[in-house]
């Protein structure tokens, strides 16, 4: 009896699977379409798309597929890019201010559509990512990379928020 119980318990564990924050069970594949770009920063389309392709399917526990065969699709639009100076020190009278820190801000609209049931699973029309860097030791490209990573993480978090 003890041997049968010891063999039965591990076998039962094999029947169970858990996908934390996963999509509905019928969604196994996702297509990630390059975002439309309303900014003058044309490289953003490819940079955001590359990070989404690398991170989103793995984070959601599904596979990447072409839009014609996928169960869901991610679409978006890059609506803004801004480089600002949130931290500076006033210079002596008549001198320019000393910039201490800069910030890259990227705004997008995103939707994830269930192509099987033809419904929007998640959308956000005001998603922003900010990347800050020190003027003395950083670059705008570093700030942009941080902002893009943050955007993609917010897309993952939003997609998982309903499950």
Q: Which domains does the chain have, with CATH numbers?
A: 18-160 (3.40.50.10610)
Predicted confidence band of residue 46 (pLDDT cuts 50, 70, 90): very high
CB 109 within 8 A of CB 124: yes
Task: Taking each helix axis as running N to C, give the angle between helix 43-60 and helix 140-160, from 0 to 180 degrees, rounded to the nearest 10.
Answer: 40
pLDDT of 17: 39
Across 134-152, average pLDDT: 94
Q: Percent of the chain scored above 70 by pLDDT?
A: 83
Confidence of residue 23 (pLDDT cuts 50, 70, 90): low
SS3 6: helix
89 to 68, 94, 99, 100, 140: CA distances (angstroms): 54, 13, 6, 7, 19
Ranges of H-type helices in the chain: 2-14, 43-60, 140-160
In whole numbers, what is the pLDDT of the chain averaged over residues? Answer: 86
Rounded to two decimals, the pTM is: 0.80
Alpha carbons within 13 angstroms on the beta-carbon side of residue 33 total 18
Residue 146, pLDDT > 60, answer: yes
Measured from the Cβ of residue 18, the count of other Cβ atoms closer than 10 Å reads 6
């Amino acid at each position: 009896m003890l041997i049968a119980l010891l063999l039965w318990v591990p076998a039962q564990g094999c029947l169970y699977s858990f996908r934390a924050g996963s999509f509905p069970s019928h969604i196994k594949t996702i297509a990630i379409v390059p975002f439309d770009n309303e900014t003058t920063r044309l490289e953003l389309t490819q940079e955001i798309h590359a990070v989404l392709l690398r991170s989103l399917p793995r984070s959601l526990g599904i596979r990447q597929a072409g839009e014609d065969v996928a169960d869901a699709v991610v679409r978006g639009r890059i609506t803004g890019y801004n480089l600002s100076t949130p931290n500076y020190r006033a210079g002596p009278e008549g001198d320019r201010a000393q910039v201490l820190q800069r910030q890259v801000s990227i705004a997008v609209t995103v939707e994830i559509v269930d192509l099987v049931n033809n419904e929007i699973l998640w959308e956000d029309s005001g998603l922003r990512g900010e990347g800050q860097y020190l003027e003395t030791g950083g670059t705008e490209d570093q700030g942009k990379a941080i902002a893009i990573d943050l955007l993609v993480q917010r897309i993952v978090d939003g997609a998982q928020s309903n499950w």
